[in-house]
Amino acid sequence: ETQIASILKSSSLYPIPQSLKLSYGTAGFRGDASLLDSTVYRVGILSSLRSLKLNSSTIGLMITASHNKLSDNGIKLSDPSGGMLSQDWEPFADQIANASSPQKLVSLIREFVEKEGIVIGEKSGGEVWLGRDTRPSGERLLRAAEIGVSSVLGCVAVDFGVLTTPQLHWMVRAKNRGLRASESDYFESLTASFKCLIGLIPVSAKNSATLLLDGANGVGGMKMEVLRGFLSGLDVEIRNTGRDGGVLNESVGADFVQKEKVVPLGFGDKDVGVRCVSFDGDADRLVYFYIPENSCGGDKVELLDGDKILSLFALFIKEQLKSLGDEGKETRLGVVQTAYANGASTDYVKEMGLEVVFAKTGVKHLHERAEEFDIGIYFEANGHGTILFSESFMSWLVGKQKELSEGSDEYNAVSRLVAVSNLINQAVGDAISGLLLVEVILQHMGWSVQKWNELYKDLPSRQVKVEVPDRTAVVTTSEETEALKPLGIQDAINGEIKKYQRGRAFIRPSGTEDVVRVYAEASTQEAADSLANSVAQLVK
Ligand code: 16G
Ligand code: ZN
């Protein structure tokens, strides 16, 4: 009863705006920041319940709207593993976010607590760690989350202030594994494994040219500045830090560069040919690019997207496994992509002999599939991805490292794999740790960004979005490569695809916007554009 009084009291501080209808979507709640106070407060309650349900493990609650505009905000949750909130709790998240009154909210919570067998008590020790990106609305919303968390008896909120999304996921994962889990532990862990990998580069094929970073005027550039202070062996110039008057995600950042394939603000002719990288607003995505020689003052870039990063990682890991002979051959190294992956990248990793599986768009879906392998690499074309190492593979690897004699090729290969497993953020895609791994591999190979880009040539592609009265009318297969509904539409799409050389196209309802997305690729840009447009006509 004290519990109910506590929620009734705090929820009256956070009335739900009229006509607000929110859906948990692909990756949490998002919307105009001015409308989200009640949502964040309620998700605070949910996080506490999640913690209690899981024996008071630590849960993460991140206030961010990633690559969306400055005036938006949102919430992403981390489960104790550091991964996304378990999907079976999403319907409850939807329900409480939309509950129309404090009484309704309390009755939903009561019902859910009973169903899940959650025990609430003064001494239960539930804990939620909070972080936020650099959005001005973040501080206010974080306060709402704190109030939500602590309105559940026995639960406390710990405020870590401004963090990247992957930092918070990393910290939550480390905490629940009983490891040191502060932000400086994160920096130390990355620094140590980066140093180890640099130390294992065979010849001095080092590529010491400066890297240019576009921080999207967000949290990523800021944190890179801190990390840079601890690192040696990496020369990085950071632009779009948010301090020079630029606006978060406005004509800058990974989402902009990947979708528009043009130069972000702050970059130009003086940077022709230089290796550049863009983070998104909360630094869980990265894409590389360079301005080509023949750009003639134009703003087009050569893009090295998530698929190309995945290919580079796959190549490097495969090379280490090769050094391990038969045992390396037995290791199940697999790749997870989405339907958006460029067909040329899929061909490339298949030719390398890797298993490729496809998952639905959204990190939680890719992550799940990557866990099926000894080493699972996943990436979305938009630059979100990571590498997962299974527990059993890791214990085998660590055992192996002890057996081998130091300095042998095998020993070095094993040591590189161990270092990669520590450098890469296995909780979730992380622009900072992804950047460090790309940089190490390029130095290891002695490659320029241009050389890396030549691994394969992207097939020309085009994306368009179509506004429709009801996007849920489109239902796809689990891999999103074919539409099951509306009836007959897939046959019509296939009819269009057939007209083009290397033609491929699909439609899917967006999980974050009220639109149907169309993707097409073909052997020339004109053909890809034309295929995309004719498929879009079918959707209208
Ligand atoms: C979210 C997803 C991203 C996905 C995008 C698709 C996470 C953390 N983020 O941003 O992975 O690519 O949605 O958006 O899962 P769409 O459904 O509107 O195309
Ligand atoms: Zn993001």
The answer as to whether 31 is a domain residue is yes
- Last residue of a domain, which of 458, 487, 509? 458
pLDDT single digits (tens) 52-88: 999 999 999 999 999 999 999 999 999 999 999 999 9
Atom from ligand 1 closest to the CA of residue 509: 17
Residues with CB under 5 A from ligand 2 (ion): 66, 280, 282, 284
Q: Is the CB of 362 under 6 A from ligand 1?
A: yes
Rounded distance between C-alpha atoms, residue 437 and residue 448, angstroms: 15
Domain contains 345:
no
Q: Are residues 100 and 26 in the same domain?
A: yes
ipTM associated with this complex: 0.97
Same domain? For 42 and 132 the reply is yes
Q: Establish whether residue 517 lines the binding site of ligand 1, counting it when its CB lies within 6 angstroms of any ligand atom.
A: yes
DSSP string, 332-386: -EEEEE-TTS-HHHHHHHHHTT-EEEE--SSHHHHHHHHTTSSEEEEE-TTS-EE
Q: How many CB atoms lie within 10 A of CB 378?
A: 28
Per the structure, the count of domains in the chain is: 3
Assign residue 57 the CATH number of its domain. 3.40.120.10
Query: Do 447 and 339 touch, CB atoms closer than 8 A?
Result: no
Structural domain includes residue 533 = yes
Instruction: Express each pLDDT in 155-197 by its tens digit.
Output: 999 999 999 999 999 999 999 999 999 999 999 999 999 999 9
Q: Specify whether 465 is located in the same domain as 438.
A: no
Of 112, 131, 162, the residue at which a domain comes to its end is 162
Alpha-carbon distance of 367 to 485, in angstroms, equals 27
**Which of 11, 38, 66, 345 is flagged as catalytic?**
66
- 81: burial class by Cβ within 10 Å (0-12, 13-18, 19+)? middle
Which pairing describes strands 333-337 and 302-304: parallel, antiparallel, or unpaired? unpaired
Is residue 289 domain-shared with residue 197, that is, in the same domain? yes
- The residue to mutate among 361, 378, 428, 471, having the most atoms of ligand 1 within 8 angstroms of its beta carbon, is 361
Is the dihedral angle over the CA atoms 415, 416, 422, 426 positive or is it negative? negative
CA-512 nearest atom, ligand 1: 18
307 labelled binding-site residue: no
Contacts of 229 (CB under 8 A, 6+ apart): none
pLDDT digits over 323-367, tens only?
Answer: 998 888 899 999 999 999 999 999 999 999 999 999 999 999 999
Same domain? For 430 and 477 the reply is no
363 lines ligand 1 (CB under 6 A): yes
**pLDDT tens by residue, 111-139:** 999 999 999 988 899 999 999 999 999 99
Cβ of 380 closer than 6 Å to ligand 1, yes or no, is: yes
Active site residue 66: yes
184 and 67, same domain (yes or no): no
| Ligand 1 atom having least distance to the Cα of 517 | 19
Same domain? For 131 and 210 the reply is no
Query: Is residue 206 domain-shared with residue 255, that is, in the same domain?
Result: yes
**Annotated binding-site residue? 380:** yes
Residues 314 and 289 reside in one and the same domain? yes
Structural domain that includes position 519: 461-539
> pLDDT value at position 341?
97
- Same-domain check for residues 90 and 191: no
